[in-house]
Amino acid sequence: MQTKQDENTLIWFTNNLRIHDNSALKKAIKNSNQTIAVYCFDPRQFETSTFGFKKTENYRAQFLIETITDLRQQLNTLNIPLFVYTEKPEHCIPALIKNQAISNIYLQQEWTDEAVFILNEVKKNCPQTISFIESYDQFLFHPEDIPFNTETLPKVFTVFRKQLEKQSSVRPLTHIDSQSTDLKTIENDTKIPTLEDLGLGQISRHPNTAFPFKGGETEALKRLHSYFFETKKLGVYKKTRNGLIGTEFSSKFSPWLANGSLSAKQIYYEVNRFEKEHFKNESTYWLLFELLWRDYFKYVSLKHGNQIFKLGGLLNKNYDWSQDSTKIKQWIDGKTEEPFVNANMLELKKTGWMSNRGRQNVASYFAKTLQLDWRIGASYFESLLIDYDVHSNYGNWMYVAGVGNDPRDRKFNVKLQAERYDTNGKYQRLWLQDTLF
């Protein structure tokens, strides 16, 4: 129910940590006298998962802290206080809505089990009079605008892509009005936690990191502008995207996209602007092509639900998987027989980042060569990656492990891949210098 002029509304931020192109925020402001905001650092996100890894390690946690710090500043410009808790949402949100006389809660619509469970817990603890208004805001192509329903989602990416490109269009960006400035001041002494508060160790930025950027919408928009309009690297993206070293071989948008401090639509409209102001080529198209992969994995998870976390994946394949802890540890520590795998695994461990080419190789080596239970590799990625995104991570892992959407069951030849993408061994030397070279 979206009534005009509810007394106070709450926007509950989850993975939509931006003020631009945010439809939940727009609706919350439009339908209220006063909007307040909340973000919860849910302690469950920092616990140890089934396979023994912290669900969130310190690189992503630091990125998130920076993101929330920026979000609070952005919201201040709209006169919206951001309450930040290091508590379970089902504990702090009901108390907040009582204290602030909230009538409606606006949030991004999610569908994976964890998110649905938490929302239901919050609902249970709130009065029944509270409405929860959810909007999908994480897609490039909105689920209401696609030419099929989730049940008839094409099994193969190319079919999905072609249908969308022909028959759908991207919605315009959402613009928001700022709140009136003569609202009463709301006291807010809530604090953004530190890594220590979250039970995590400090990090120091590695001099060789390919991702030296900070979290938050402000940084995301800076990067978008720089990659497209300052360095114009967008114009050569297709040629450089398989690179391994440095900031410019690919866009590096994924960490901001993953927590929603940047939207896929914002990127889309900036690509369009670039094409009008400068030129259009294979590269400008290819960045949008990759964003369609991102959408595809979201639709796959919408359709298949928990199947994406199952060993047999979408295909119910029954391979003989091992859980050999020595091999798993060697992979994690960069001590396998393959220097290219090792270099990538060390980069991940020391920075929270790995290129797409690296991810494909280490995942294929884990699942196809070592024949280890792919969910353990995925869980390690979930822990470490700055850009962890449930749909892209599990979707890509299933794909590489041969239980997802790839009609071909492929195994990467890591040696050939290293020769092709790291011909002179520069990347391997960068990360293995202490051990091998």
How far from chain centre, in Å, is Cα 405? 20
- Per CB under 6 A, the list member of 291, 302, 314, 345 interacting with ligand FAD is 291
374 makes contact with ligand FAD (CB under 6 A): no
Closest by CA position to 247, among listed 205, 283, 284: 205
Q: For residues 135 and 254, which CB has a smaller minimum distance to ligand FAD in the complex?
A: 254
Residues pairing with 106 in the sheet:
11, 133
Q: For residues 103 and 344, which CB has a smaller minimum distance to ligand FAD in the complex?
A: 344
Residues pairing with 135 in the sheet:
108
- Per CB under 6 A, the list member of 397, 412, 427, 431 interacting with ligand FAD is 397
How far from chain centre, in Å, is Cα 111? 15
Residues 190-249 that bind ligand FAD (CB under 6 A): 241
φ and ψ of 318, to 5 deg: -115, 70
164 makes contact with ligand FAD (CB under 6 A): no
CB of 191 to ligand FAD, least distance (A): 29
In the block, residue with structure tokens 């369609």: 292
388 makes contact with ligand FAD (CB under 6 A): yes
385 makes contact with ligand FAD (CB under 6 A): yes
| Pairwise CA distance, residues 350 & 431, whole Å | 9
CB of 324 to ligand FAD, least distance (A): 20
Closest by CA position to 354, among listed 243, 267, 259, 205: 243
CB of 247 to ligand FAD, least distance (A): 9
- Per CB under 6 A, the list member of 38, 363, 384, 386 interacting with ligand FAD is 363
| Pairwise CA distance, residues 425 & 429, whole Å | 6
User: What is the maximum span of the chain, computed from C-alpha positions, in angstroms?
Assistant: 67
285 makes contact with ligand FAD (CB under 6 A): no
Total binding residues for ligand FAD by CB under 6 A? 29
3-state DSSP assignment of residue 34: strand
Q: For residues 82 and 287, which CB has a smaller minimum distance to ligand FAD in the complex?
A: 287
310 makes contact with ligand FAD (CB under 6 A): no
- Per CB under 6 A, the list member of 46, 83, 297, 340 interacting with ligand FAD is 297
Q: For residues 79 and 356, which CB has a smaller minimum distance to ligand FAD in the complex?
A: 356
Would you say 153 and 295 are in contact if contact means Cβ atoms under 8 Å apart?
no
- Per CB under 6 A, the list member of 223, 252, 349, 375 interacting with ligand FAD is 252
Q: For residues 137 and 389, which CB has a smaller minimum distance to ligand FAD in the complex?
A: 389
Would you say 96 and 68 are in contact if contact means Cβ atoms under 8 Å apart?
no
CB of 361 to ligand FAD, least distance (A): 9
CB of 249 to ligand FAD, least distance (A): 8
Task: Label residue 241 exposed, middle or buried (CB < 10 Å: 0-12, 13-18, 19+).
Answer: middle
Residues pairing with 102 in the sheet:
8
| Pairwise CA distance, residues 13 & 17, whole Å | 6
| Pairwise CA distance, residues 265 & 280, whole Å | 18
Query: Containing H/E element for 379?
Result: helix 374-384
DSSP tag of 5: T
Interaction mask 96-135, ligand FAD, x per CB under 6 A = ----------------------------------------
Q: Which stretch, 16-24, 29-37, 121-129, 359-367, contacts ligand FAD (CB under 6 A)?
A: 359-367
- Per CB under 6 A, the list member of 360, 383, 405, 417 interacting with ligand FAD is 360
Name the site residues for ligand FAD (rule: CB under 6 A): 241, 250-254, 257-258, 287, 290-291, 293-294, 297, 355-356, 359-360, 363, 381, 385, 387-389, 392-393, 396-397, 400
